[in-house]
Amino acid sequence: MDTFDQQHIWHPYAKVPNTIPAYVVESADGVYLQLEGGIKVIDGMSSWWSAIHGYNHPVLNQAIETQLKKMSHVMFGGLTHQPAIDLAKILVEITPENLTKVFFTDSGSVSVEVALKMALQYWHNKGQTDKHKFITIRGGYHGDTFGAMSVCDPDNGMHHLFAGVLPKHFFVKSPSMVSMDEALQDLESILKQNSKSIAAMILEPVVQGAGGMRIYNPQYLTKAKALCNTHKVLFILDEIATGFGRTGELFALEYVDVEPDILCLGKALTGGYMTLAATLTTDDVANTVGTLMHGPTFMANPLACAVANASIKLLLNSDWQDNIARIEKHFHAELSSLRINDKVADVRILGAIAVVEMQDDIKVELIQNRLIELGVWLRPYGSLLYTMPPFTIKDDELSLITKAIKTVVAEL
């Protein structure tokens, strides 16, 4: 741990001085992080779910190096470049057919901000200015920027401190994997009463991320979209965490082939190399919105677009579905038995995602130290001990992660 870092640098969801140590990473290669002091650990987090190909990948390195020799950045206002054109083409090709327009941003949170702004401007330009609220299911997380915070879970999320100043939106019951009728009834009731003021529904398809790592029945998406259509409410899907194969489908919406009006992408878009996100929408939304008053300085950064193109091609040309199925099978075989542990509340597995929810909150510093001793890097939060490893992870490396999880659960 670097003492200057501890005393002066703010880390995510931490204070200064930082009471939980931040480990110095000297290098990264494949699925491994080389920590200061000669410690080598498997990254079971894929750098917050983004480094799906692992680190220091030669194909992605080459994409960055080739683009760097041409230009590292150029403003996107009034100018364009081939990496952005190529990336927009491939995103339109691999996402639902109705999504034809692409707006690039520089982070997942900002892609959500753009989606919300699109929805508001859409109804404003249709003369329905009262439609300025949003509706979402509880347990969701959509980012830390202001608009995104307002559609995160208001009670159990990370943003309750700002409850008094955030816009007030509608939160409905969340579906589960086994039950969704009650959640749909709640959604229908709120839409019936308030659709004249609701611009859009936003939710994470199938898997809720940082709001609680919950997995729910994909059929909810189809029924929720139908209700939104009936009540003239736009449908926004946030695939920032679930996109690019993480759940076992290229996008989680493919479990039911639902077509959103707006789609948010990020995280694994560049294979974890650079920050980049995108908001896709339909001809109808784009034509109605017209000029969208938003333009990040580093919008469509050429380096980021170039490595995103390389990452998507690398994924699509690989046996990624077999890899995800292999990882999921391993998780079921090694972690499902933890359900009988009295200290475990639940075990949830889908694709390359495994979540062990404990009955009580986890002491992060103690557990992280123990996990590093066991050769694994994980970042627990709340009562959740979970892993989302790179897709390239080998079976023996995967075994180290699941053995480490079982070990710390047994020791809690």
Instruction: Give the active site residues.
Output: 13, 141, 238, 267
- Check if the beta carbon of residue 106 is closer than 8 Å to that of residue 169: no
Contacts of residue 261, Cβ cutoff 8 Å, sequence gap at least 6: 98, 119, 200, 234, 235, 236, 281, 282, 284, 285
* Nearest of 119, 37, 67, 33 to residue 270 by alpha carbon: 67
- How far is 246 from 204, CA to CA, in rounded Å? 13
Q: In the numeric block, which tokens belong to residue 139?
A: 């347990």
What letters, b where the CB count within 10 A reaches 16 and e where it falls short, cover 150-166? bbbbbeebbbeeeeeeb
- How far is 345 from 384, CA to CA, in rounded Å? 10
Contacts of residue 298, Cβ cutoff 8 Å, sequence gap at least 6: 73, 106, 304
Q: In the numeric block, which tokens belong to residue 208?
A: 């809720």
